[in-house]
Structure 1
Amino acid sequence: MSLQGDGAAAEPPTAEMESTASDTITVTIGATVPTGFEHTAAEEVHEKIGVDAHVSKDRGRIYFPITTDKLFQVHLLRSVDNLFVVVDEYDHYPFKESKGETLNELQELASKLPWTNALEVWRLNRTLKKKKGYRKGGNGPKLKPSSETTEADGEQEEAAVESQTEVESGMPDTSSTQDAVEAAPEAKVIRFRVTCSRAGDKHSFSSNEAARDFGGAVQEFFQWKADMTKFDIEVLLNIHNEEVVIGIALTEESLHRRNISHFGPTTLRSTLCYGMLRLCKPQPSDIILDPMCGTGAIPLEGAIEFNSSFYIAGDNNDMAVNRTVNNVCHIQKRRADKGSASGLPIDTVRWDLCSLPIRTSSVDVLITDMPFGKRMGSKKKNWDLYPNCLREMARVCRPGSGKAVLLTQDKKCFSKAISRMGGLWRKVHTVWVNVGGLHAGVYLLRRTGAVFGQTPEDIYESRGTVNIQEEVKNENEHVKSF
């Protein structure tokens, strides 16, 4: 799966190039996706673009071919965080044992790569979106290492090539680019940076060293100007063990922030919300409930993408409810400004999680991000919260057909709580994901046909209550006898 290019030295983009129409070409697009939902993202690509996506060995990435006339469709994908066009890739790059030899080879590689098609896609991509100004530091695509859990043998560093000598608009006469620049004197100097992401324990170099030397060669080859913050082009160097992928970023900032304007301490990425929603496969007319909505990221994503269902978002925290309302209003205003129908099938309520004002057996799907016990709540409180929460969810969920998709990092507490549900829930599937560096699970549960209030646990609890009431009654009678 390697991008086929002509191998010729590519001309740097200029204003003249941007106004020149080009023929349709085929390239490979790379996308970073929430770890654990790679196959979900591949399914969406096949469904919406009609091509098969390849899941990378490096978790959290997929690759798929497109023709440039479908480039706009790529930006409409809901499961991808960042997009880039692949310049070239190597499944088994022959790294040298010596650091010096390896870095020298990376420098030589820059002038041998088939840049032409990738730069043409970068040019077309600029015409698809309104210019939003320069990206600030930290807004560029953050490529993930092999595993999003902390690894001693992996590193993820961003390194931009900084040159002491600024490249002015005049370029060497020996370059074919010189004629283009002279023909369009108003064309500005292209600014760039190289971002390197590296994972593996057999490399003799660091990410900073690879980005520095490779970027220096890119600068010399194209005569671009290095700039870490105000860059036009971001060249991506992704190294995962022996796999090397060179690309050019197509997104200025991650697409996962698309729905949220008012963030909370544990706001989920919209792309992760989309993956969770696809797990439960919302059907038309489904009632979908998020009892711990936080900022409303899950129901908002659902109301936008699966808008034939109806969503109820609730929380016991006033600030969370207010954030959700503000985020809903933000989306509605944005739609109204574009002349689209602004309504969303979503309601927001403040409630007590363990005593929901919802009719028994009336909800089709429950989907929520449960407190991990770190930023929100505590591990100790979860031992009481999780069983109470799961029982109340079982009460409002339709027996036999209802589902729940629940995200939590407190796996031990969750498993114990499920085992105490008296057969009300059955585990169907688990997707292991990374949430802010934490290894968490997305659990798909099926509501069994067991009638709420008649399971062994319910009977046991109800008998316990009766026994306590009888003990109190007997004690009172005993006191009266004196």
Structure 2
Amino acid sequence: MSSQGDDGDGDAQGMAVDQQPPTTGSPFTVTVGATVPTGFEHTAAEEVREKIGADVRIGKDRGRIYFNIGTDRLFQVHLLRSVDNLFVVVDEYQHYQFKESKEETLAELMQLASKLPWANALEVWRLNNSLKKRRGRRRGANGAKGKAKGDAADAENTEEQEQHLPETQQSCEAQDQADPESSSLPSSLSPEEAPCQPQLLKFRVTCNRAGDKHSFSSNEAARDFGGAVQDFFQWKADMTKFDIEVLLNIHNEEVVIGIALTEESLHRRNITHFGPTTLRSTLCYGMLRLCNPQPSDVILDPMCGTGALPLEGAIEFNSAFYVGGDNNDMAINRTVNNISHIQKRKEERDSAPGLPIDSVQWDVCRLPVRTSSVDIIVTDMPFGKRMGSRKKNWDLYPSCLREMARVCRPGSGTAVLLTQDKKCFSKAVSRMGGLWRKSHTVWVNVGGLHAGVYLLKRTAGTFGETPEDIYEAGNSSREVTEKALS
């Protein structure tokens, strides 16, 4: 039996729980793991400390963090904005000694399945299902639409496989009337320890493996470990319509076994109308935290695409005002539709109506914005792959950086810009040295591409008076933009 999925994307909005449900029994502490956008592990750790007050450990495998939380506060983990997926840790080994031969290693993994302390993790899984059931009743939902586990690791030897994901997921609570005699829990768990007694629990195992010193593949590990789990619990294996997903995360000598708590990646929570290069909402959150938005700030996304960045800001950092613009009319239509979707969702939840956001169609090199009127610029620049081209970026980047410098406040303005075209961007920043100063860079994984999130600070230089500025002013900004984005 095998199952894998490390970069699949769910279609539904992530779970957002706004009430604490009743729990049964005494609360206990568990370790929760979270996958986050690669490169923003420290940002995610800061959010956990800020919102939950928990100590956070960053995993050896990039894109994962771990923290402890009581079961009475489990609902809080679903309020985090920087995490893609969540799972409860069954057990972990920091220095697991793998055997030299594949047969011995796989046999040991099979034996491990029956020795793990499953009870607490399964109880957390049941409590988590009760959170989702309560939310489903409030919103009239019929169930989950998709599932994904993990963020794409950028290690060269990471092995990943995708699976089609379930259309429905049945919680243990739906099996309250099941005959205890037909319980699929192992006999080693007493009725007091048994978190639930489903009549026929379906499961799959997902193995995410990184490292070049393993004698086995991800498929082989998931198959044999999954077979042992099936024998131990007497569950039914199902690769697509499963109730529970067991995770086997292996990074060199680190082994973490967990149970998934999210049915779909949380990163699509804001977007219903997607474009060819729509950013993950979790990556948008990380970029916005780098900006450190303050109340009354004017924040501009001059190449907003589907509006993922300004939407995330308007929801999470709603004391600022956001303007998203693009030269493409289809992109602006998608942005408007996404804004309308969020506003409608707020009305359904009886939240305060309206969002501090607006959208405009414009030319990024001739912005209809007053000089020195913007506090922060945050945008996803064309990589030159799906949008534009590397050749056209050599004209576009200097021109748009100059225009961004014009509208940004001298001495205090900030820009957070994402691009994978590192050589072109670095050259453009050097040409605009009198207007922008590069502060630092966060290296991220965007759909398997190694990209940079660049934090720039606006210098105190007066626009139009630096040598670089005067040179660039001789070019026709409109012609440059039309050539670069056509």
Q: How far apart in 1 are the matches of 2:375 and 2:23? A: 53
Aligned residues: 434
Which runs of structure 2 are paired with 1:43-442 in the superposition (5 Å)?
43-130=46-133, 139-144=146-151, 147-148=153-154, 151=156, 153-157=157-161, 170=182, 175=187, 187-442=198-453
- Looking at structure 2, the residues matched to 38 and 190 of structure 1 have their Cα atoms a distance apart, in angstroms, of 34
> What is the distance in 1 between the residues matched to 2:221 and 2:85?
22
| Letter in structure 1 aligned against 2:102 | K
The one-letter code matched in structure 1 to 2:123 is E
Q: Decide whether the 8 Å contact of 1:158 with 1:207 is kept in 2.
A: no
Is the CA contact 2:377–2:414 (under 8 Å) kept in the aligned structure 1?
A: yes
Partner residue, 2:480: none
**Helix, strand or coil: the match of 1:156?**
coil
Deviations 1:286-342 (A, max 9, x none): 000000000000000000000000000000000000000000000000110111112
Query: In the alignment, which of 15, 28, 31 is matched to residue 28 of structure 1?
Result: 31
State the Cα distance separating 1:154 from its structure 2 match: 2.7
Deviation at 1:142, TM superposition (A): 2.7
SS at match of 2:72: helix
Q: Deviations over 1:437-479 (max 9, x none)?
A: 00000000000000001001234456899xxxxxxxxxxxxxx
1:257, 1:346 → 2: CA distance? 19
| Greater RCO (Cα-Cα under 8 Å, separation 6 or more) | 2
Equivalent residues of 2:185, 2:233 under 8 A apart: no
User: Whose Rg is larger?
Assistant: 1
1:156 counterpart letter in structure 2 = E
Shift of 1:423: 1.3
Deviation at residue 188 of structure 1 after TM alignment:
2.6
Q: 1:459 to 1:320 in 2, by over 3 A?
A: closer
The aligned amino acid for 2:26 is D
Amino acid at match of 1:361: S
**Which structure 1 residue ranges, 5 or more long, are not aligned?**
1-17, 161-167, 466-482
Partner Cα distance (2:341, 2:408) in 1: 30
Structure 1 vs Structure 2 CA RMSD: 2.5
What amino acid sits opposite 1:429 in the alignment? H
Distance 1:24 1:231 in 2: 27
Indicate how the Cα distance of structure 1 residues 368 and 178 shifts in structure 2: closer, same or farther if over 3 A, else same. Answer: same
Matched residue type, 2:375: D
Q: Distance in 2 between matches of 1:417 and 1:357?
A: 22
Task: Tell whether the 8 Å contact from 1:285 to 1:310 is kept in structure 2 after alignment.
Answer: yes
Maintained 8 Å contact 1:158/1:197: no
1:102-151 CA deviation, whole Å, 9 max, x = no partner? 11100100010011110110010011113565656xx3233246x426x1
Aligned positions of 1:2-17 closer than 5 A: none
AA in 2 matched with 1:49 = I
Sequence identity (%):
76
User: In 2, distance between residues paired with 1:20 and 1:307?
Assistant: 32
Which runs of at least 4 in structure 1 moved beyond 2 Å after TM superposition? 130-136, 139-145, 157-160, 168-180, 458-465
Structure 2 length-normalised TM = 0.85
**Deviation for aligned residue 1:221:** 0.7
Matches within 5 A, 1:460-479: 460=471
8 Å CA contact 2:325–2:360 kept in 1: the answer is: yes
Q: Are residues 171 and 118 of structure 1, via their aligned partners in 2, closer, same or farther at CA, if it must alter by over 3 Å? A: closer
Q: Distance in 1 between matches of 2:186 and 2:454?
A: 61
